[in-house]
Amino acid sequence: MQEYVTDAIILRKEPQGDLDGRYTLFTKRFGKIAAKAKSSRKITSKLASHLEPGTLAKIRFIDTKGTQLIDALKSDRVALALADLHSLSRLLPDVEPEPALWELLTHGAFSWQETLSILGWDPEEAECATCGDRSPAYFYITRQEFYCRTHASKAPRDAVISIDARL
Ligand SMILES: [Zn+2]
Protein backbone atom coordinates (compact mmCIF):
# COMPACT_ATOMS: atom_id res chain seq x y z
CA MET A 1 0.00 0.00 0.00
CA GLN A 2 1.43 3.30 -1.09
CA GLU A 3 1.81 5.77 1.72
CA TYR A 4 2.56 9.47 1.28
CA VAL A 5 4.16 11.92 3.66
CA THR A 6 4.09 15.68 3.28
CA ASP A 7 3.82 18.92 5.19
CA ALA A 8 0.34 20.39 5.00
CA ILE A 9 -1.75 23.34 6.09
CA ILE A 10 -5.26 22.42 7.21
CA LEU A 11 -7.62 24.73 5.30
CA ARG A 12 -10.99 23.35 6.20
CA LYS A 13 -12.71 20.57 8.09
CA GLU A 14 -16.24 19.32 7.70
CA PRO A 15 -18.00 16.62 9.63
CA GLN A 16 -19.05 13.69 7.47
CA GLY A 17 -21.39 10.94 8.56
CA ASP A 18 -21.40 10.21 12.23
CA LEU A 19 -17.78 9.82 12.98
CA ASP A 20 -15.63 10.61 9.99
CA GLY A 21 -14.05 13.94 9.23
CA ARG A 22 -13.40 15.41 5.83
CA TYR A 23 -10.53 17.82 5.37
CA THR A 24 -9.20 20.14 2.71
CA LEU A 25 -5.45 20.48 2.93
CA PHE A 26 -2.86 22.54 1.11
CA THR A 27 0.17 20.25 0.96
CA LYS A 28 3.73 21.12 0.12
CA ARG A 29 4.25 18.17 -2.24
CA PHE A 30 0.87 17.79 -3.92
CA GLY A 31 -0.95 21.11 -3.64
CA LYS A 32 -4.55 21.02 -2.51
CA ILE A 33 -6.02 17.65 -1.62
CA ALA A 34 -9.22 16.50 0.04
CA ALA A 35 -8.87 13.70 2.56
CA LYS A 36 -10.95 11.74 5.00
CA ALA A 37 -9.96 10.77 8.47
CA LYS A 38 -11.84 7.69 9.62
CA SER A 39 -13.63 8.18 12.86
CA SER A 40 -11.64 11.30 13.43
CA ARG A 41 -14.12 12.60 15.94
CA LYS A 42 -13.99 9.41 17.94
CA ILE A 43 -10.40 8.32 18.13
CA THR A 44 -9.07 11.60 17.93
CA SER A 45 -9.08 14.02 20.42
CA LYS A 46 -5.50 13.16 19.50
CA LEU A 47 -5.51 13.22 15.69
CA ALA A 48 -8.19 15.90 15.49
CA SER A 49 -6.24 18.37 17.55
CA HIS A 50 -3.56 18.23 14.85
CA LEU A 51 -6.15 18.83 12.15
CA GLU A 52 -7.70 22.12 13.17
CA PRO A 53 -7.86 24.72 10.38
CA GLY A 54 -4.73 26.88 10.36
CA THR A 55 -2.52 24.09 11.63
CA LEU A 56 0.74 23.33 9.90
CA ALA A 57 1.29 19.58 10.26
CA LYS A 58 3.25 16.68 8.90
CA ILE A 59 0.66 14.27 7.54
CA ARG A 60 0.61 10.70 6.30
CA PHE A 61 -2.07 9.48 3.95
CA ILE A 62 -2.96 6.52 1.76
CA ASP A 63 -4.88 6.40 -1.48
CA THR A 64 -7.41 3.63 -1.10
CA LYS A 65 -11.10 4.29 -1.56
CA GLY A 66 -10.24 7.96 -1.74
CA THR A 67 -7.57 9.76 0.18
CA GLN A 68 -7.37 8.75 3.82
CA LEU A 69 -5.38 10.48 6.49
CA ILE A 70 -3.67 8.05 8.77
CA ASP A 71 -1.58 10.38 10.86
CA ALA A 72 -0.97 14.05 11.50
CA LEU A 73 1.56 15.77 13.70
CA LYS A 74 1.17 19.44 14.37
CA SER A 75 4.32 21.50 14.01
CA ASP A 76 3.12 25.08 13.94
CA ARG A 77 0.24 27.37 12.99
CA VAL A 78 -0.08 29.74 10.07
CA ALA A 79 -1.23 33.30 10.70
CA LEU A 80 -4.38 33.28 8.59
CA ALA A 81 -7.96 34.02 9.56
CA LEU A 82 -10.47 31.17 9.25
CA ALA A 83 -12.29 33.03 6.45
CA ASP A 84 -9.04 33.31 4.48
CA LEU A 85 -8.32 29.59 4.95
CA HIS A 86 -11.81 28.79 3.64
CA SER A 87 -11.37 31.09 0.65
CA LEU A 88 -8.08 29.35 -0.14
CA SER A 89 -9.79 25.96 0.06
CA ARG A 90 -12.21 27.11 -2.63
CA LEU A 91 -9.69 28.96 -4.75
CA LEU A 92 -6.78 26.55 -5.06
CA PRO A 93 -6.74 24.04 -7.91
CA ASP A 94 -6.73 20.35 -6.98
CA VAL A 95 -3.45 18.46 -6.79
CA GLU A 96 -1.25 21.18 -8.20
CA PRO A 97 1.84 22.00 -6.16
CA GLU A 98 2.34 25.74 -5.63
CA PRO A 99 5.83 26.15 -4.14
CA ALA A 100 5.78 29.96 -4.12
CA LEU A 101 2.45 30.01 -2.33
CA TRP A 102 3.66 27.40 0.14
CA GLU A 103 6.64 29.63 0.92
CA LEU A 104 4.40 32.68 1.38
CA LEU A 105 1.98 30.90 3.71
CA THR A 106 4.63 29.26 5.84
CA HIS A 107 7.33 31.94 5.91
CA GLY A 108 5.92 35.18 4.54
CA ALA A 109 3.37 37.80 5.46
CA PHE A 110 0.09 36.67 3.95
CA SER A 111 -1.75 38.99 1.61
CA TRP A 112 -4.40 38.30 -1.01
CA GLN A 113 -2.63 40.56 -3.51
CA GLU A 114 0.48 38.41 -3.30
CA THR A 115 -1.50 35.16 -3.24
CA LEU A 116 -3.57 36.05 -6.30
CA SER A 117 -0.50 37.13 -8.24
CA ILE A 118 1.28 33.87 -7.44
CA LEU A 119 -1.76 31.99 -8.75
CA GLY A 120 -1.79 33.98 -11.98
CA TRP A 121 -4.37 36.71 -11.28
CA ASP A 122 -2.37 39.88 -10.75
CA PRO A 123 -4.55 42.49 -8.96
CA GLU A 124 -2.26 45.26 -10.25
CA GLU A 125 -3.31 44.54 -13.80
CA ALA A 126 -6.93 43.81 -12.97
CA GLU A 127 -10.10 45.66 -13.80
CA CYS A 128 -13.76 45.17 -12.90
CA ALA A 129 -15.23 42.51 -15.20
CA THR A 130 -18.46 44.49 -15.48
CA CYS A 131 -17.46 48.17 -15.77
CA GLY A 132 -13.71 48.14 -16.34
CA ASP A 133 -12.90 50.06 -13.13
CA ARG A 134 -9.12 49.97 -12.78
CA SER A 135 -8.97 49.40 -9.04
CA PRO A 136 -11.27 46.50 -8.31
CA ALA A 137 -11.83 45.74 -4.64
CA TYR A 138 -12.90 42.11 -4.88
CA PHE A 139 -11.98 38.83 -6.50
CA TYR A 140 -14.94 36.56 -7.23
CA ILE A 141 -13.69 33.04 -6.50
CA THR A 142 -15.89 30.85 -8.69
CA ARG A 143 -15.87 33.25 -11.65
CA GLN A 144 -12.15 33.93 -11.28
CA GLU A 145 -12.73 37.59 -12.06
CA PHE A 146 -12.23 40.93 -10.34
CA TYR A 147 -15.08 43.30 -9.50
CA CYS A 148 -15.37 46.83 -8.15
CA ARG A 149 -17.25 47.49 -4.92
CA THR A 150 -20.51 48.24 -6.74
CA HIS A 151 -20.47 45.21 -8.99
CA ALA A 152 -19.40 42.82 -6.24
CA SER A 153 -22.14 43.99 -3.90
CA LYS A 154 -24.63 41.28 -4.88
CA ALA A 155 -22.15 38.43 -4.53
CA PRO A 156 -22.46 36.16 -1.50
CA ARG A 157 -19.96 37.19 1.13
CA ASP A 158 -18.03 33.93 1.12
CA ALA A 159 -17.80 33.92 -2.69
CA VAL A 160 -15.57 36.96 -2.87
CA ILE A 161 -12.17 37.89 -1.51
CA SER A 162 -11.63 41.48 -0.46
CA ILE A 163 -8.33 42.65 -1.89
CA ASP A 164 -8.23 46.34 -1.04
CA ALA A 165 -8.19 46.04 2.74
CA ARG A 166 -4.41 46.02 2.83
CA LEU A 167 -3.64 48.29 -0.11
ZN1 LIG B 1 -17.59 47.55 -11.74
pLDDT of res. 21: 83
Ranges of H-type helices in the chain: 40-43, 46-49, 82-91, 99-107, 112-118, 149-152
pTM of the predicted structure, to 2 decimals: 0.90
| 10-residue mean pLDDT series, the chain (167 residues) | 94 79 95 85 67 95 89 93 96 96 95 96 94 96 95 92 71
| Cα 164 to ligand 1 centre (Å) | 14
| Cα 156 to ligand 1 centre (Å) | 16
Distance CA 91, CA 145 (A): 12
Residue 9, classified by CB atoms within 10 Å of its CB into exposed (0-12), middle (13-18) or buried (19+), is buried
pLDDT of res. 167: 43
